[in-house]
Structure 1
Amino acid sequence: MSYRDIMVHLTLDPRNAERIRYAIGLARRFNARLSGLYTVPPPNVPYYMGEYIPTELIQKQMDEAQKASVTAREAFLATCAGAAVEHRWLSSDLAPVEALRVLARASDVVIVGQPDPSPADPAAIPYGTDVLPQELALQAGRPVLAVPHGGPVGDTARSVLVGWNGKREAARAVHDALPLLRAAETVHLVTIAPEKKGRTPQAEIAELLERHGVRLQAAIVEGNGQKVGMALLAEAKARDAELLVMGAFGHSRLREMVFGGVTETVLGNLDLPVLLSN
């Protein structure tokens, strides 16, 4: 198994260039085609305008959005050509989750950006990207690789940390990440204690990974009262990991807002790329 088609999401976002650079690094490593999918944002009408929306304003924003799309396309094509990476350009007027949910299913992995965790102006967040990584991971049926908002980040992933809790989502993430795990110099298989009954034990998945040629270090660590997501990020930092692999665990949006969750915690405090699967 290898990655043969990698998709990267682009939109009206100053972080496009960083994601393209990261995606090109992965595409070159696996000799994969890189598909750039640009989602054109809809007109953004200020709330204070109420029901009165001048046609000229709508048309101006649509023209600017199309112009930005052309600029992004030229930059993507030029960068990929310069890197000698097989590539193609796609665009959609749908919301990012809707467009990627369908198109990502015909790719091996899709790269998206982490929403700005501390936006100075929430209205400036690119349309539809505020919940993109977690929502897409739950809906696409393919692994989602979220790149931190604060960059730059390396694309080598020589050291990878796998968060293992024995659940279905974690198993899906491990298998989806196999090309990256086999290519890594060291894979840290970490379970935040305690292991629970009824779930695949760490020793079993460790044996499977070793049979796949993964260079593995396994550990069960104490969370010391931290949220599991923060404990995983702390372990990744302590072990100099360049990539985190974990299952995407989803609840209702209301429950996540009230109680939080592992996925929400990780994505809200991300300082390295994370591969999510559900």
Structure 2
Amino acid sequence: MAIRKLLLPLSGTVAGEAALSTALMIARSWNAHVTALHVRIDSRDVAPLAGEGLSGAMIEEMMSATEKESADRARAVRTMFDRFVAAHGVPVMEARAGASTATASFAAVTGREEELVAQQARLADLTVVPHPEAGEDVSSSDALHAVLFDSGRPVLIAPQIPPEQIGRRIAIAWNGTAESATAVWAAIPWMKRAEAVWVLSADEYQRRGPCAPELLDYLALHEIRAEPATFRPVDREVGAGLLKAAREFGADLLCMGAYSHSRLRQLILGGVTRHVLEHADLPVLMNR
């Protein structure tokens, strides 16, 4: 299936600029449409957080300040969007069938970001989210986890620096789980267009399920020629070993399943998903 619609939750950070550049690059590659979605904070949500001891006037003042700040941020994000689409030569217009060029549109809505992003992602072929900011705990990325857990669709985590190309050399992280199988399914359109595909596996990464040679046979049925490669953990970190192998391959896209263990366990104890989310310097296509 070709990629026709991308969703990009946009908040205006430096990481958001990199994600916008990445999304527009993907759209130009596929002649797809990018919907940039900016979610404004609902000032009414501030009142329950104000706590006791505040007068009605004070709460009204807080709500008014929140509304002004939200409006200012929305204008800044729209300005950034307009600047980037112009720089990439992507026209701003509504999505249409059979488009022969990439297009983009901008929408600003009010509500809870994690709810609205997950809902909109259900009718997008791919959602592009910014890489966690430097020093930011990956658990704070509401948009990322909303798409992973509540949309049923793939998500691409953009790197902090926009890539020069994406999807020519693809590394598949395979461990036999349902999550990795879903990620492979989402990556098939990419692999059909790739110059080279590597299937990365490791004894420390493998779970109960099909092994890498079985995946190679499956991909061959889709006329995808992939090469097997094994990797080893680095300093006992499977995620570090996976990223090292992907870099050695020269991958410009890493495809993997997310949170084979529970999210809570990975956030507290660490895990492959968390390590990759925090340290990847290339685009990562994830599914759960």
Q: Could you tell me the TM-score, scaled by structure 1's length?
A: 0.85
1:80 aligns with 2:85: yes
Q: In structure 2, do the counterparts of structure 1 residues 48 and 160 end up closer, same or farther at CA, with 3 Å as the change threshold? A: same
1:260 aligns with 2:270: yes
Q: In structure 2, do the counterparts of structure 1 residues 263 and 196 end up closer, same or farther at CA, with 3 Å as the change threshold? A: closer
Match of 1:147 in 2: 158
Write out the 4+ residue segments of structure 1 that deviate beyond 6 Å after TM superposition.
Answer: 47-50
Q: In structure 2, do the counterparts of structure 1 residues 4 and 40 end up closer, same or farther at CA, with 3 Å as the change threshold? A: same
Match of 1:132 in 2: 143
Match of 2:113 in 1: 96
CA distance in 2, matches of 1:139, 1:233: 26
214, 218, 227: which one aligns with 1:217: 227
Residue identity matched to 1:231: G
Deviation readout 1:61-98 (Å, 9 max, x if unpaired): 31121132133224424543632432222233233221
Q: In structure 2, do the counterparts of structure 1 residues 131 and 114 end up closer, same or farther at CA, with 3 Å as the change threshold? A: farther
CA distance in 1, matches of 2:13, 2:231: 38
Unaligned runs of at least 5 residues, structure 1: none
66, 73, 92: which one aligns with 2:71: 66
CA distance in 2, matches of 1:59, 1:112: 29
Residue identity matched to 1:67: D
Match of 2:129 in 1: 112
Residue identity matched to 2:127: V
Is the CA contact (8 Å cut-off) linking 2:118 and 2:146 kept in structure 1?
A: no
Match of 2:96 in 1: none
Is the CA contact (8 Å cut-off) linking 2:259 and 2:273 kept in structure 1?
A: yes
RMSD over aligned Cα, in angstroms? 2.9
Residue identity matched to 2:226: L
Following TM superposition, by how much is the alpha carbon of 1:230 offset from its aligned partner in structure 2, in angstroms? 1.6
Q: In structure 2, do the counterparts of structure 1 residues 267 and 224 end up closer, same or farther at CA, with 3 Å as the change threshold? A: closer
Give secondary structure in 1 for the equivalent of 2:236.
coil
Residue identity matched to 1:97: E
Following TM superposition, by how much is the alpha carbon of 1:56 offset from its aligned partner in structure 2, in angstroms? 2.6
CA distance in 1, matches of 2:201, 2:135: 29
CA distance in 2, matches of 1:197, 1:156: 29
Match of 1:231 in 2: 241
Give secondary structure in 1 for the equivalent of 2:153.
coil
Deviation readout 1:222-262 (Å, 9 max, x if unpaired): 33662222221111122111111000115555422332222
Unaligned runs of at least 5 residues, structure 2: 92-101
Residue identity matched to 1:21: S
- Of all paired residues, the percent bearing the same amino acid is 27
179, 183, 186: which one aligns with 1:173: 183
CA distance in 2, matches of 1:203, 1:27: 33
Give secondary structure in 1 for the equivalent of 2:275.
helix
Is the CA contact (8 Å cut-off) linking 2:12 and 2:80 kept in structure 1?
A: no
CA distance in 1, matches of 2:115, 2:32: 24
- 1:182-197 aligned at under 5 Å gives the runs 182-193=192-203
**Bigger Cα displacement from structure 2, 136-145 vs 212-221:** 212-221
Deviation readout 1:129-180 (Å, 9 max, x if unpaired): 53432442122100000113x3133343321111001111101001111122
Q: In structure 2, do the counterparts of structure 1 residues 189 and 15 end up closer, same or farther at CA, with 3 Å as the change threshold? A: same
